[in-house]
Amino acid sequence: MVLEIVPNLVNNLWVVVAALLVFIMTIAVGFLEIGELGKHYSRALVKTIIITVSAIFIMAIIGFNTAFAPTVYGVIGNPFYGPGLLLGEFSSNAQGLLTGVWWSMGPKYFNTGLATGSYFLFEAAFASVTFALVSVIVLKKVKMKALALFSIAYFILIWNLPAAWIWNPTGWLYLMGMRDFAGGLVVHAAAGAAGLAIVLEIWLEEKKRGFKQSPKVGIKLNKSWLALGILLLWMGWFGFNPGSVLAFNSSALTVVLTTFLAASSAAVSTMGFKWLKDRAKPDIAYGVNGILMGLIIITPLAGFVSPGSAIVLGLIGGPLFLAAERYFSKAKGFTDPVGLFPGHLVGGIFGVLMIAFFTQHSFAAASGNGILPNGLLFGGGLSALHQLGIEAFGIIVVFAAVFLLSFAFIWLIAKCIGGITDSAYYKEIKSAKAGHRN
């Protein structure tokens, strides 16, 4: 006798609505970009639309499998796993579509009863927004064709490996005990690592073009689109973090809280510290960056901590962002006006490390991560130190893997299409030498 596994209605409802909210975020990143760089940078919009459709398209064909199918030796999901390949192709009996749930959502693993449809859409939206974050670094400098080619590798392999390692219940880092709730590492820091690989290639090409410093791109606020961008991103994070419980229960409600509290307190803290430092009036750019920093920091541990900790983490986010922004703004080799590195890279890594400090076992257990011990600040002692080691190890491995893979692919693409940078842009820059650089 075979017991049929039935999808859990409320969990699916929660996750599929969360998926819709995360889906919004990619184009919201486009609005954030024109909000910070001005409407003349409308390229951000076609870019984020293309990213949205390619993410769904490529993930549906094969990328969902490489990340979330049963893994081959814990390293990569089986690309040919039937129910995930083209999402079951034309089969109406495909597991999880009409008759069951995705394998890892069954009772043997996460036991949340999610159908393939909900889980796929949720994760495809995650892949999409991760790449949108990477792409804030290309500005007008990189050819669209290069980005398009890179996106294929990105959605089949670069995004998928860390996901397979950490979020797949048969992944090697997951089995080692590494946890990253909603992607401080898998999304934010990994986006930063891929971004670094791209700016390295840009810089190598810029040096060949005779630049001694990477041309800087300045901020040019378009406040309405910036406000809309952050509103949509914050709404998206309501799906991003609380949806990552992959179920609707008390833990999901707690994650809503920790997410919103960290965002608010980080915004208060960023504007406050900016004022303390420079007597700068609260302005929209620091408000927005503060909200983002809070959301990024809480992402990897939103399901593991108490509301009180979320507020503390948010408050730390302000000075951390200001310091990181100051540090990265001095870089000669790249320009990062939208803040990929001080925000997503630094905030993501910081948040993952904080797992070993702020986790409270009862919260972690409620979100399905009962393996996590209390953090150092909650009496975790040696177990917490051990967890800190695992998290740090995971950060190093994933950062290195994503950076190297990304650089290898972007370098290869550069070889094939004669460089990834766009000559038109640099001509424009040079001819405008006397005038403004933008």
CB of 182 to its own copies, least distance (A): 16
316 is an interface residue for its own copies by CB under 8 A: no
303 is an interface residue for its own copies by CB under 8 A: no
Q: Dihedral angle at the C-alpha atoms of 283, 337, 55, 188, nearest 10 degrees?
A: -80
CA distances from 84 to 64, 80, 97, 384 (A): 6, 8, 10, 36
Q: Are strands 76-77 and 71-72 parallel, antiparallel or unpaired?
A: antiparallel
CB of 110 to its own copies, least distance (A): 17
CB of 266 to its own copies, least distance (A): 9
Lay out the site mask for its own copies across 343-362 (x = CB under 8 A, - = otherwise).
-----------------xxx
CB 325 within 8 A of CB 274: no
5 is an interface residue for its own copies by CB under 8 A: no
78 is an interface residue for its own copies by CB under 8 A: no
DSSP structural state of residue 154: I
Q: Which is nearer to its own copies, 120 or 203 (CB)?
A: 120
Neighbouring residues of 32: CB distance < 8 A, sequence distance ≥ 6: 136, 225, 226, 229, 230, 233, 288, 338
Per the structure block, which two tokens stand in for 312? 């503390």
282 is an interface residue for its own copies by CB under 8 A: yes
Per the structure block, which two tokens stand in for 340? 């990929």
Q: Which stretch binds its own copies (CB under 8 A): 94-102, 321-329, 409-417, 422-430?
A: 94-102
CA distances from 116 to 104, 111, 129, 311, 366 (A): 10, 13, 20, 35, 23
Q: Which is nearer to its own copies, 34 or 156 (CB)?
A: 34
CB of 45 to its own copies, least distance (A): 4
CB of 257 to its own copies, least distance (A): 4
What are the DSSP calls for 366-385, one per residue?
Answer: HTT-TTPPPPGGGT-HHHHH
Per the structure block, which two tokens stand in for 142? 């990189």
13 is an interface residue for its own copies by CB under 8 A: yes
- Site for its own copies (CB under 8 A): which residue of 200, 204, 231, 390? 231
Q: Which is nearer to its own copies, 116 or 214 (CB)?
A: 116
- Site for its own copies (CB under 8 A): which residue of 1, 4, 92, 434? 92
46 is an interface residue for its own copies by CB under 8 A: yes
Q: Which is nearer to its own copies, 308 or 381 (CB)?
A: 308
288 is an interface residue for its own copies by CB under 8 A: yes
- Site for its own copies (CB under 8 A): which residue of 131, 363, 399, 426? 363
Q: At what angle do helices 144-153 and 43-58 cross, to 10 degrees?
A: 20
Residue of 338, 209, 350 lying closest to 266 (CA atoms): 350
- Site for its own copies (CB under 8 A): which residue of 72, 75, 80, 91? 91
Residue of 75, 92, 77, 80 lying closest to 123 (CA atoms): 77
CB of 44 to its own copies, least distance (A): 9
Query: How far apart, in whole angstroms, are the C-alpha atoms of residue 40 and residue 45?
Result: 11
Q: Where are the alpha helices (DSSP H) in 136-210?
A: 144-153, 160-166, 172-176, 190-208
- Site for its own copies (CB under 8 A): which residue of 70, 79, 177, 307? 307
- Site for its own copies (CB under 8 A): which residue of 32, 54, 174, 346? 54
Q: Which is nearer to its own copies, 114 or 398 (CB)?
A: 114
Name residues contacting its own copies, limited to 403-422 (CB under 8 A): none
CB of 90 to its own copies, least distance (A): 4
Name residues contacting its own copies, limited to 369-408 (CB under 8 A): 378
Name residues contacting its own copies, limited to 108-137 (CB under 8 A): 115-118, 120-121
Per the structure block, which two tokens stand in for 45? 């919009």
CA distances from 347 to 88, 298, 316 (A): 37, 9, 10
Q: Which stretch binds its own copies (CB under 8 A): 9-17, 193-201, 379-387, 394-402?
A: 9-17
CB 130 within 8 A of CB 190: yes
Neighbouring residues of 185: CB distance < 8 A, sequence distance ≥ 6: 162, 166, 300, 348, 349, 352, 394, 395, 398, 399
Per the structure block, which two tokens stand in for 247? 């179920």
CB of 199 to its own copies, least distance (A): 23
152 is an interface residue for its own copies by CB under 8 A: no
Name residues contacting its own copies, limited to 238-277 (CB under 8 A): 238, 248-251, 253-254, 256-257, 260-261, 263-265, 267-268, 271
